[in-house]
Chain A
């Protein structure tokens, strides 16, 4: 069965600090996909990134970066120079091929990030 663990329930940082959100996953599939979503106070989950299991290159998008390490089954998310607008709940999620019996997008419990001005 697939499982996603986000051990950090809540994190508070002061604006301009860097912060890393941890994500550890479990799956028996060799092909799978990892996602990060952001949920601002308005409620909708906003897609941030998707990585497939064969691409371990780290990715950077502006102040956001992602570190995918298959050896440790982790897909961590770093925000550099955090801003108040980054305050939200962040979800890590895992998906695999449906013919393996996987359900769509298994989510972690989320990490609530508060950035204080």
Chain B
């Protein structure tokens, strides 16, 4: 079993749909992250949760709504998305220390297409 599992692997949705991405980590970490990977752009940090509390919101539009019910699970709720939101959404986890040395462990991502 992989350390960080994301579902679904692929998602196609219309602009009026509501969907959720799920991430689960089996590594005993206390921090979880959402990153967005678009073509020809650096990976963009979206949200960070430490000990279930959101500590970073990188100016993400409100049509993306994260939820972290416990330190092992992370969701990204999507509603009224735009075509430019089509991207690979990557979840990651780490053991947060604050010093910056923590390694992030990534899932395989959800490839999202917004029609």
Contact = CB atoms under 8 A, between A and B. Distances in A.
Interface string A21-43: 00000000001110101000011
Contact of B101 (A33, A103, A108): A33
* B interface bracket (residues with beta carbon within 8 Å of A): 20 to 34
A71 interface: no
Given A104-B56, A109-B41, A98 B103 contact: no
Contacts of B94: 104
A98 B43 contact: no
B100 A96 contact: yes
Contact of A98 (B98, B104, B106): B98
Contacts of A107: 42-43
Interface of A: 4, 31-33, 35, 37, 42-47, 50, 52, 91, 95-99, 102-110
Interface of B: 2, 4, 33, 40-43, 45, 48, 56, 58, 88, 90, 92, 94, 98-109, 111
